[in-house]
Structure 1
Amino acid sequence: MSQSVLFVCLGNICRSPLAEAALRRECAASELTVIIDSAGTGDWHVGQPPDERAQATAARNGLDIGHLRARQVTGSDFHDFDHIIALDNQNLRDLTTMRPMKAVAKLSLLFDHVAGRAGEDVADPFYGEVEDFDQTCAEVTEAATTIRKLLEASQGEPI
């Protein structure tokens, strides 16, 4: 039974595409079948590719996000995905507010899945420098490894 994960940040052009690509790589390497996507709570970038700096960072780290296009979270996402993982506390609060009645998706914060980091935000690198994108990529890659292990161990149960 495959599981599904949706990563969510604000605009879906920096953090969540990097997280999506990192978990895709993790799952492919372990032959774990997981449906993985990303979205934003905001609609400013819908249809646009990820930020060029995020794409460059991804490429330096062996990830390809250039084909992705930003999209906004929809009500159906709460029924279509098993796990919706926010990259920061504000987006988690926004997701909690927009969550429809009878939604099946389990909401969580990315770092809640990493020992010693529960409650922490992945900083938004949008207004930062190249180093900020590198840090974001390192953080989502660390979390992707942990999430993949949790998904493997859960055998289809929510993580």
Structure 2
Amino acid sequence: MHEYSVCFVCTGNICRSPMAEAVFRARIAEAGLDGQVVTSSAGTGGWHAGDPADPRTAALLEETGYELDHVARQFVRDGFAGHDLVVALDEGHARELRALAPTPGDEAKIRLLRGYDPTAAEDDGFGFDVPDPYYGGPEGFEECLRLVEAAVPGLIAEVAATLEQRAGDRGDGGAGDSGGSGAGTAAHGGGRRDNSTGRPLAGEHSTGEHP
């Protein structure tokens, strides 16, 4: 039985969030956590519901060794109940998700993916967004994949710490540094970030590539 569920959310669930889902699933397997963690993706809108991933996303993932079997769907209000974390690909998605969240506890599950990237900063050209590659060429999809791959390890670190904490609470393992899904902070690159916004906490300074 899976103990932890992560859902990635973008606009139409055909480009960015399926890419994040595929990368996260591969890295979770590499970390030996695939028996404990389940991942999915969805869109804030339902325009592409029932469609496969964008062919450019599918081709790039295949080319880079990631597996994807995907049918687009829309994230709905009731969806919060089935997930420990709901990870937005940009700040617009995070705002929509916060407006949709039925309870404060559900709102606390929302994260920005690039909040887990220690090199992400307001002045790196992207802010804390993974830009939508839909209207551009192949280079936009490649950039999207690069940003996703840079952020996923930090997300996995938080998930692993939460699983360790839960095991410790049950008395069948050690305790990690992070609590449940609503903890909202993680340490990356020497500074702690609020992962619901991606920004360093007050008084904290990242030592990543971009100060």
Q: CA deviation at 1:147?
A: 1.1
CA distance in 1, matches of 2:130, 2:7: 16
Matched ranges for 1:37-116 at <5 A: 37-65=40-68, 67-101=69-103, 103-104=105-106, 106-116=109-119
CA-to-aligned-CA distance 1:5-56 (integer Å, 9 cap, x gap): 1100000000000000100000101111211000000111000000000001
Q: SS where residue 12 of structure 2 aligns?
A: coil
Q: Secondary structure at the match of 1:141?
A: helix
Distance 2:111 2:71 in 1: 23
Where in structure 1 do 4 or more consecutive aligned residues deviate above 3 Å? 102-105
Task: State the AA in 2 paired with 1:17.
Answer: P
Q: TM-score, normalised by structure 1?
A: 0.92
Please say if residues 116 and 152 of structure 2, whose CA atoms lie closer than 8 Å, have aligned partners that are also in contact.
no
Structure 2 residue 147 is the aligned partner of structure 1 residue 144: no
Q: Bigger radius of gyration, 1 or 2? A: 2
Partner deviation per Cα, 1:96-132 (whole Å, 9 max, x = no partner) = 1111136546111111112242651000000011011
Aligned Cα root-mean-square deviation (Å): 1.6
Question: Is the Cα contact below 8 Å between 2:17 and 2:89 reproduced in 1?
Answer: yes
C-alpha spacing 1:103/1:74, structure 2 compared with 1 (3 Å): farther
Contact 2:8–2:20 (CA<8 Å) still a contact in 1? yes
Equivalent position of 1:11 in the other structure: 12
Give 1:114-129 correspondences, 5 Å limit. Answer: 114-117=117-120, 120-129=128-137
- Figure out how many residues of one structure are paired with residues of the other and give that number: 158
Query: How far apart are the structure 2 equivalents of 1:93 and 1:121?
Result: 12
Distance in 2 (CA, whole Å) between partners of 1:115 and 1:136 is 16
Which letter does structure 2 place at the counterpart of 1:131? E
How far apart are the structure 2 equivalents of 1:93 and 1:99? Answer: 10
Percent identity among equivalent residues?
A: 38
Question: Could you list the runs of 5+ residues in structure 2 that have no partner in the other structure?
Answer: 122-126, 167-179, 184-211
**One-letter code of the match for 2:144?**
T
Alpha-carbon contact 1:11-1:70 (below 8 Å) kept? yes
